[in-house]
Amino acid sequence: MSLDGSDSANKPSNFIRHIIDDDLAANKNAGKVHTRFPPEPNGFLHIGHAKSICLNFGVARDYQGLCNLRFDDTNPSKEKQDYIHAIQEDVKWLGFDWEERLFYASDYFEQLYQYALELIDKGLAYVCDLSAEQTREYRGTLKEPGKNSPYRDRSVEENRDLFKRMRASEFVDGSRVLRAKIDMAAPNMNMRDPTLYRIRHGVVHHQTGEEWCIYPMYDFTHPISDALEGITHSLCTLEFADHRPLYDWVLDNISIDCHPQQIEFSRLNLQFTVMSKRKLTELVDEGHVDGWDDPRLPTIAGLRRRGYTAASIVEFCERIGVTKSDNSVEMGMLESAIRDDLNTNAPRRMAVLNPLKVVIENYPEDKVEQLSAANHPQNEAMGSRSVAFSREVYIDRDDFREEANKKFKRLVLGKEVRLRYGYVIRCDEVIKDAQGEIIELRCHYDENTLGKNPEGRKVKGVIHWVSAQYALEAEIRLYDRLFNHPVPDSSKDGVDYHQRLNPDSLQILSRCYIEPALADAAPGERFQFEREGYFCLDSASSDKIVYNRTVTLRDSWEKIEEEMSEG
């Protein structure tokens, strides 16, 4: 925070912004900044994509530049229109706007084809008849150079003819590809005559239908798409660093007057979850989770349904920063971001998750009081609501013990506790069933304790409650980490990530009681259930009330309890 009140000190500082600062200082790109977010529509976006979105759109915003949304749709066999809709929803929900700049790599198929012809004409690309397997053999290994394809020296005329016939559907899948003619002995594998085009029959492309049977590869498409859109800084993840020489090669060898700069940053790794599209797709397809928006998934849709706000995700992305180092971010980082947001913005309510009936014997049976409860303890502007109080209420089973030491600041047999926003009560009797399980508490209340402390004694504990008569019944879903290993897909010990799924990642409490003011909550609306955590009204359930727990409150009692049990 700067003392002069300017907000420049709050802008993120990272190596990419340094590069841009230098470019601007040197008047590169005529002082313009233009980025793009280029997902392949083969799945839902996840928190790792959010990092890229915040980076690309954030940089554009802070440098008065532009950021495009572009679907990198060059492999129709993996892509779906459904994903295109979902991705746009997620980017918008995060708060970013590509305005009129929505593009598809497939928009450029014809231009790409013409550039391929140009490479052929320059003797820099050739049609190769090697099978996929042969191509692999010819490529060599990491330490040994490859060898030239026998088709490498075909004439320009023959290459033109063959490539046009590839497009004209004359050849079957896998029979031929178009390759760049670079260097089969290059130490960088990507430069060993990479494939530029492959043949794909029998797939309907979600944008171009059956117009094409040849599809350009990423390495050929990406630099050209960037250049055609006037991108200045092409930001991507680290695994593409080895592709940069090829990115540059393509642009250096075709007639195009724009040459974006590719800059790589490290992808986000979040502990106790997986982030690869392949694994997320498997979790969904194999039914380990309930769809792409399952609240346990690190997808944007999952986090949204879980109750995460867009602001908290953006804040999280700012906190983790952008570097080139490998990282393994703790879940606590994400949780802290959403707690910060919800602590200041979520109205408070009371809900009892594991109900235990309490009968207040000295409270008249037909009496009902509407007690006033502030919606937020630190923000009066959020107003208040009334909470019905009656002779029978529910409290949480965890808030009662027959005997306990003084560290237990809740209800104990023979002792007092305050009902939040209400009276102090004393427990006089415990009713048990035949199995010895507690089924009901008999209590007395002190009518002089509403809004004031009792006279002559201190009551430290405060517990939440709901009126048995006026409470609403609800289902509450508690989520835990999806995996029980910090790096579920670690290849270190040869264990498959499926074996590290946490069997207790979802706990459903079907008979919870929530306060009557929650009757008119809207789907997706978020609340703090006092002393329990932050919850969000599920957006996909209609026949019953379902709340998802977004995150718990910080809990120092848990630690005290552990220490006591350890002795």
Under the binding rule (CB under 7 A), the answer on residue 147 touching RNA is no
Say which amino acid occupies 7: D
What is the end-to-end Cα distance of the chain in Å, rounded? 45
| Strand, helix or coil for residue 125 | strand
CA–CA separation, 266 and 52 (whole Å): 10
Q: Which two tokens stand for residue 291?
A: 């769809």
Q: Which of 267, 397, 409, 442 is catalytic?
A: 267
Q: What is the footprint of RNA within residues 183-212 (CB under 7 A)?
A: 187-190, 194-195, 198-199
Stretch that binds RNA, among 84-92, 159-167, 331-339, 476-484 (CB under 7 A): 331-339
- Our answer to whether residue 492 is catalytic in this structure is no
CA–CA separation, 50 and 43 (whole Å): 14
Cβ 7 to RNA, closest distance in Å? 15
242 or 540: CB nearest RNA = 242
Q: How far is CA 54 from CA 21, 94, 97, 342, in A?
A: 18, 9, 11, 21
Q: What is the footprint of RNA within residues 373-402 (CB under 7 A)?
A: 376-378
Under the binding rule (CB under 7 A), the answer on residue 136 touching RNA is yes
215 contacts 232 by C-beta, under 8 angstroms: no
Q: For residues 381, 387, 393 and 396, what is the CA-based torsion angle, rounded to 10 degrees? A: -20
Report which of 436, 445, 441, 390 is spatially closest to residue 416, judged by C-alpha positions.
Answer: 445
130 or 501: CB nearest RNA = 130
Number of residues interacting with RNA: please give it, by CB under 7 A.
Answer: 91
114 or 453: CB nearest RNA = 453
CA–CA separation, 50 and 314 (whole Å): 8
Provide the mask over 348-377, with x wherever binding to RNA is found by CB under 7 A and - wherever it is not.
x---------------------------xx
Under the binding rule (CB under 7 A), the answer on residue 97 touching RNA is no
CA–CA separation, 287 and 303 (whole Å): 18
100 or 326: CB nearest RNA = 326
291: which residues sit within 8 A by CB, 6+ positions away? 284
Under the binding rule (CB under 7 A), the answer on residue 329 touching RNA is yes
Near RNA by CB under 7 A: residue from 320, 501, 512, 521: 320
Q: Which parts of 57-172 are beta strand (E)?
A: 66-71, 102-104, 125-128
Report which of 376, 320, 311 is spatially closest to residue 340, judged by C-alpha positions.
Answer: 311
Stretch that binds RNA, among 61-69, 113-121, 214-222, 284-292 (CB under 7 A): 214-222
- By the 10 Å C-beta count (0-12 exposed, 13-18 middle, 19+ buried), 525 is classed as middle
Residue identified by tokens 């998934």 is: 297
Q: Which of 40, 89, 158, 318 is catalytic?
A: 40
Neighbours of 319 (CB within 10 A): 13
Q: What is the footprint of RNA within residues 467-526 (CB under 7 A)?
A: none
94 or 425: CB nearest RNA = 425
Under the binding rule (CB under 7 A), the answer on residue 415 touching RNA is no
Q: What is the footprint of RNA within residues 34-53 (CB under 7 A)?
A: 38, 40
Under the binding rule (CB under 7 A), the answer on residue 18 touching RNA is yes
- Our answer to whether residue 144 is catalytic in this structure is no
| Strand, helix or coil for residue 498 | helix
Q: Which two tokens stand for residue 426?
A: 């004393």
341 contacts 311 by C-beta, under 8 angstroms: yes
Near RNA by CB under 7 A: residue from 559, 565, 566, 567: 559
**What kind and span of H or E run contains 166?**
helix 156-167
Under the binding rule (CB under 7 A), the answer on residue 462 touching RNA is yes
254 contacts 224 by C-beta, under 8 angstroms: yes
Cβ 4 to RNA, closest distance in Å? 17
Near RNA by CB under 7 A: residue from 163, 171, 408, 527: 408
374 or 506: CB nearest RNA = 374
136 or 432: CB nearest RNA = 136
Cα Rg of the chain, angstroms: 31
**What kind and span of H or E run contains 400?**
strand 400-401
Q: What is the footprint of RNA within residues 225-264 (CB under 7 A)?
A: 238-243
Near RNA by CB under 7 A: residue from 461, 475, 480, 502: 461
Q: What is the footprint of RNA within residues 253-312 (CB under 7 A)?
A: 266
- Our answer to whether residue 92 is catalytic in this structure is no
Near RNA by CB under 7 A: residue from 326, 366, 433, 455: 326
Strand partners, 180: 125
213 or 521: CB nearest RNA = 213
345 or 539: CB nearest RNA = 345
Q: Which of 70, 244, 277, 531 is catalytic?
A: 277
Provide the mask over 417-456, with x wherever binding to RNA is found by CB under 7 A and - wherever it is not.
-x-xxx--------------------------xxxx----
* Active centre residues (catalytic): 40, 267, 277
